[in-house]
Amino acid sequence: MPNIAVLPGDGIGREIMPQALRVLQAVVKDLPETWEFSECLAGGAAIDALGKALPEETLKVCHQADAILLGAVGGPKWDTLPGPERPEMAALLGLRKEFGLYANIRPVKMLPYLLDASPLKRERVENVDMVIIRELNGGLYFGEKGRKTNPPAAYDTMIYSEDEIRRILHVGFKTAQARQKRLCSVDKANVLETSRFWREVANQVATEYPDVELSHMYADNAGMQLILNPSQFDVMVTDNTFGDLLSDIASVLGGSIGMLSSASLGEKIGLYEPAHGSAPDIAGKNLANPLAMILSVASMLRHSFARHEAAAKIEQAIDRVFAAGYRTGDIAKPGDKVLGTKEMGDAVLEALR
């Protein structure tokens, strides 16, 4: 009996999660097993109610779950807290570390109906279909960090062990093997020692995948290539920091970051969340695009439960909604029927029927 921990979090997380849950419930009700959902607090909401962004109760529920759904965490109210107590670090990075979620999968695919929502010319983006694989448990995010006095200074340490690099490269090669068999490893080997090491390890791992073509690219160039010629990429694998930056850049190729889902996988359970944040500027206004969250649910059905048909049903429903001309504000062009968060949820549910 699948048990899902549901963490809406803060800001628009609280608006998109209910829509994603309605969609999930609608597709799993046709499955033979009973699905259970346990909702709990995380992020700023948990700080306000329980004094901590990742309370013990929440951790306990997550440990008993088969998968975690997360909305988004953080907001201006908690921005002045010391780094380690902030919702992003304590809750999000806390969960990534606690569950060893080292492989972050972010698929960027141009949906035909959204061609005109892309800020780039149609001919540049029409063939975009790539996956960004971001290392999520190491590097700059988790290395030693701190402040110094006299003179005042601050530091974050970038460190990668061979094992950490190796395991994410395996995910990259395996993903490429199941696709176009092209893997681009992104680093900054002209400057960083961690990157030179990353390249060495990547070249070693490559010998185990003779059918996959491995290339290397500097991160700055990768940012430029994503704009100039994004369809050259099949699978991109990179470290925590570069993956964060490049996945935000890549997300707008397909129209909006509001469409980008994200799966964080480890040895045991997976965490599924939209790649965007809590968007305090539009929170509470029924303006947010719930589709990245809904697509994250589809990703969960695929990666954690091998429910490929149920996942495809959701994706096809979204396609039908687009075909009927419905959009949220972030992906709308003149003439489209613009829906709010809840109404987009209604539309996807309607299309599922």
Q: Which residues are catalytic?
A: 141, 188, 220, 244, 248
Q: Is residue 88 close enough to count as binding ligand IPM by CB under 6 A?
A: yes
Q: Identify the three-state secondary structure at position 61.
A: helix
Closest approach, Cβ 321 to ligand IPM, in A, equals 25
Which of 244, 258, 270, 317: binder of ligand IPM (CB under 6 A)?
A: 244
Q: Please, what is the end-to-end C-alpha distance for the chain in angstroms?
A: 24
Closest approach, Cβ 276 to ligand IPM, in A, equals 8
Task: Tell me which of Mg ion, ligand IPM, none is bound by residue 277, counting a contact when its beta carbon lies within the kind-specific cut-off of 5 to 8 angstroms.
Answer: ligand IPM
Euclidean distance between CA atoms 105 and 302, whole angstroms: 12
Q: 113, 322 in Cβ contact below 8 A?
A: yes
Question: Which tokens sit at 185?
Answer: 């490893």
User: DSSP string covering 17-50, please?
Assistant: HHHHHHHHHHHHTTSSSPPEEEE---THHHHHHH
Nearest residue (CB) to ligand IPM, 10 versus 234 = 10
| Site track for ligand IPM across 272-311, x = CB under 6 A | ---x-x----------------------------------
Closest approach, Cβ 199 to ligand IPM, in A, equals 23
Q: 35, 4 in Cβ contact below 8 A?
A: yes
Euclidean distance between CA atoms 271 and 292, whole angstroms: 14
Nearest residue (CB) to Mg ion, 44 versus 55 = 44
Question: Which tokens sit at 233?
Answer: 């990429």
Closest approach, Cβ 59 to ligand IPM, in A, equals 18
Nearest residue (CB) to ligand IPM, 19 versus 137 = 137
**Site residues (vs ligand IPM, CB under 6 A):** 88, 92, 244, 275, 277
